[in-house]
Structure 1
Amino acid sequence: MVRERQQTKVMEAIQDYELPSGQGLNQETSLKRASDTRWGSHYGTLVSLVNMFSSVIEVLEMIVDDGVSLDQRGEADILLNLLQSFDFVSSLFLMKEILRITNVLSHALQKKDLDIVSVMALVKACKQQLQAMRDNGWDAWLDKVSSFCGKHDIDIPDMNDIFVARGRSRRRVEKLTNLHHYRVDLFIDVIDKQLQELNNRFNETSTELLLCVACLSPDDSFSAFDIEKLVRLAKFYPKDFSDMKLTLLEDELKNYIFDMRLHNEFSTLKGINNLAQKLVETKRDRQYPLVYLLVKLALILPVATASVERAFSVMKIVKNPHRNRMGDQWLNDSLVVYIEKDVYDSISNDVVIRRFQNMRTRRGQL
């Protein structure tokens, strides 16, 4: 129903010359479903809700009048009242703006071929944008919210009046103005929490550690290589690198980088994992044992948790209440197949059948 209402509105706007028409413009759309693990999808959900707000309201009004049951009509009425409130619209636009700022960083952190240096630059950019929004973005944000409310006939409170929370008694409540509530308790407080989370996740120590790890990358003929930062990286692991080993590591790194840039087989590598494989293939892991130890430590460093998060989400799908007695080996095999869909989609059914048929002698031919 929402999709049909939105399509009707788009056609009317095109006929009234309010929207341009052309190839690829004004395509059919619907509310985007929010994912459990990818914050980028939440941004898409908020954007689609803003664009289709009037259609959503009309459909809810239709359900209130013509719902199939009393519970459905009651739920639609509650949603209708919530959506047509200044509180909801202000929260909607605030989260939409914050997720817009962090959207690029969110997608970058979920890539398997993670570029640490680029991600650190994105983290810094996100912090600066959020701080700028906190310091100077209040007026622009309030104008957007007020304009949206005026367009959809939503009451805009007087910022100098006393704020009253929905459904709460005015007694025994600290008297604060609407301006204080929306600017301090909502706008500034939410941005501060986001900044604090970014600072906790990417503090000075972890940022330095990640930048040091990036110096091991073989991309662009080891363009990010830096001996001082790699020695600094080794100092983060005092149990593996004593003072004597640190001195040996510095000398080993000088020979290592000269050797790497001398051979073309290393100049085309991408990523630390490919570097580790090539070092083992060419037996240079024995020639440069301390450098190889650094590479191994970098590989086991939990830089991104997106893949782990997806694995746990998949586990809830594979091992549900109907299959709660599944053994560990079966669960592990099922998870691998489900998570690595791209790999297994390239394997034909005939290959699987032949593999199963050849495992042992069977009475019938599949």
Structure 2
Amino acid sequence: MAIISRFVDKSRQVKEHFLGMSYITNTCVQSLKDDIDAMFSTRGLSISSLRGQGYDGASNMLGEFNGLKALILRENPHAMYVNCFAHQFQLAIVSVTHRNCMLGDLFNVLAIIVNLVCASCKRVDAFRTSYQANILEKLNIGELTSGRGQFQEMSLECPGDTRWGSYLLTITRFINMVNAIIDVLENILEDGVHLDQKSSAVRQMNAMQEFEFNLRENGWDTLLSRVIEFCVDRHILVPNMEDIVVVKGRPRHVAQQVTYFHRFYVDLYCHAIDSILQELNDHFLETTTELFTCISCLSPRDSFAAFDKNKLLHLAQFYPLDFNSEELLLLRPQLDKFFCL
């Protein structure tokens, strides 16, 4: 178990120190708590001084009643638990892709394409060569502008449930490298030895030529414009949004008949947004969200545009050991003075 402390020093600078690692032979909650107490005591620290704690998503760490978080909160109710935001965001995204069959199909196709393109060193070399040629062509015709650090060598990666940001990275790189991907799939179709790989290349190329596949990679805020532009540039058929579409995978006499607009906007976009909001509410505790909302008011961005005195006063109320009633009364004029400076 690794333990890292974050604190504010005497010069009011936020510091983060690696306290050490402890070899865990027993992962029960009390054993973990005893190891933390031992490491704290050897460094002259105390649980009572904690004002926050954070762990991964393991149940023995953040269990509401019997987890390590709850055990520390019983000893020090001011050690507010803060989610590992990157981990919680990843869990929310993974859950949504599993619940929405259209998004699940998208990432399944992406994984198959990545495995096909990166199955051998020869294909990887062909992929890199094609990507570099596409970049040079766009630079020559003025579609792209060169600059320091741009167009560095990239590779395709499959999305992973435990790799933070991998879903976004996979889609972003796929969009940027789509022409090179098509070139490699065409090479597999023409020069492939195994029939199953050639058949898979044909299926994935056909999938990439569907409007629905490309729509799933863009936000609805663009109102189809970016998707339509992307499809037109690659000669992908764009359906009429008012036409009726029969949902695949069901007999025609029982299948629900809806318009393309309903399928793309309601069944895909709105369902995905609603699922994401529900998952975020499930993964982020109300107290934690409230804490970060209050702390964000201290951001100096745009000349403290987010400054909110009432929220900061509410933040101080979370820590009665640090702000008594008299100090809370004095805090309001102090915040006014801070903002004027």
Q: Per residue, is there more helix in 1 or in 2? A: 1
TM-score, normalising length: structure 2: 0.48
> Normalized against structure 1, the TM-score is what?
0.45
Larger radius of gyration: 1
